[in-house]
Amino acid sequence: MFHWLEKNPFLFSVGVFLVIAFAGVVTLIPSFAEASRPVIGTTPYSTLELAGRHVYIKNSCNACHSQLVRPFKSETDRYGDYSLSGEYAYDRPFLWGSKRTGPDLMRVGNYRTTEWHENHMMDPEALVPGSIMPGYKWMFTNLADIDTAYAEQITVTDFFGVPYNKPVPMKDGSTKTIFMGSTVDEARADALAEAKLVAADMKNQDVKDMVEKGQIPEIVAIIAYMNSLK
């Protein structure tokens, strides 16, 4: 029946390609025509938060923690409001995860504090008895990569029109402007100023000293990022 096709590798391959590409064309293209639009109140990440997001990705936090609250009572009870598509408009990449070895973190900024994260990242079991999460002590000494976060801010502004330095509407009717430096020095200074606010709530003296000297450890950046998840 199809023997002729099996003797013609070129037509066969074209046929296979058309058949497998079909579903992708039908399911993906309409979604892209409708570009991801932010909901009111969703802002781009600040330089420090973005650097913290890179720390989150570097350590594959998404291997054990989701960032997607499904529309079930049990999930909204546990984690807060269910997720809306527009809340992820500035997430490149998305970090929904596929496995909850630990709890969801979509809105962790609503119910955990800087101090809690500081103690928890050092020794999770001390704070949450029975936790199987390991400590992330190296985040207290490794330095966050602010320059790369800045490079990403420039890239997403140029290519995808992410509204840095532009007023973004908030839920209460006001607007908020997320700053992006016009030079890398400005970006570093901005990140350091934000880092000082985070470090002020922390207890670890080494971290405080580093920030005082103008260095930003990874722990400060990732806490800034987690506090932004609301």
Partner 1 sequence: MENRPLEYDYTVAKWFMWSTIILGIVGMTIGVFIAFELAFPSLNLVLGDGLAEYTNFSRLRPLHTDAVAFGFTVSGIFATWYYVGQRVLKVSMAESKFLMTLGKAHFILYILGVTAAVITLFMGYTSSKEYAEFEWPVDIAIVIVWVMWGMSIFGLIGIRREKSLYISVWYYIATFLGVAMLYLFNNMEIPTYFASGGHGDIMHSVSAYAGSNDALVQWWYGHNAVAFVFTVPIIAMIYYFLPKESGQAIYSYKLSLLSFWGLMFVYLWAGGHHLLFSTVPDWIQTMGSVFSIVLILPSWGSAINMLLTLKGEWQQVASSPLIKFLLLASTFYMFSTLEGPVQAVKSVNAIAHFTDWIPGHVHDGTLGWVGFMIIASLFHMAPRIFKRELYSKSLMTAQFWIQTLGIVFYFTSMWVGGITQGMMWRSHDEYGNLAYSFMDTVAVLHPYMILRGIGGALFLIGVFMWAYNIYKTMSARPIEESELQSATPMGA
CB of 58 to partner 1, least distance (A): 4
* Residue 147: Cβ within 10 Å count: 14
Helix (H, G, I), strand (E, B) or coil at 33: helix
Scanning the structure block, which residue is given the tokens 């987690």?
A: 226
Query: Taking CB under 8 A as the rule, which mask of x and - marks residues 66-95 in contact with partner 1?
Result: x-x-xxxxxx-xx----xxxxxxxxxxxxx
> CA 225, CA 51: separation in Å to the nearest integer?
8
Does residue 6 belong to the site contacting partner 1 (CB under 8 A)?
Answer: yes
Of 4 and 205, nearer to partner 1 (C-beta) is: 4
CB of 200 to partner 1, least distance (A): 27
Does residue 155 belong to the site contacting partner 1 (CB under 8 A)?
Answer: yes
Using CB under 8 A, which of 11, 22, 143, 214 touches partner 1? 22
Q: Which residue in 148, 138, 109 sits closest to 230, CA to CA?
A: 109
Of 62 and 114, nearer to partner 1 (C-beta) is: 62
Phi then psi dihedrals of residue 129, to 5 deg: -55, 135
> CA 69, CA 78: separation in Å to the nearest integer?
9
Q: How much is the CA Rg of the chain, to the nearest whole Å? A: 22
CB of 175 to partner 1, least distance (A): 21
Of 38 and 109, nearer to partner 1 (C-beta) is: 38
The answer to whether the beta carbons of residues 178 and 44 sit under 8 Å apart is: yes
CB of 171 to partner 1, least distance (A): 19
Residues between 157 and 176 with contacts to partner 1, criterion CB under 8 A: 158-160
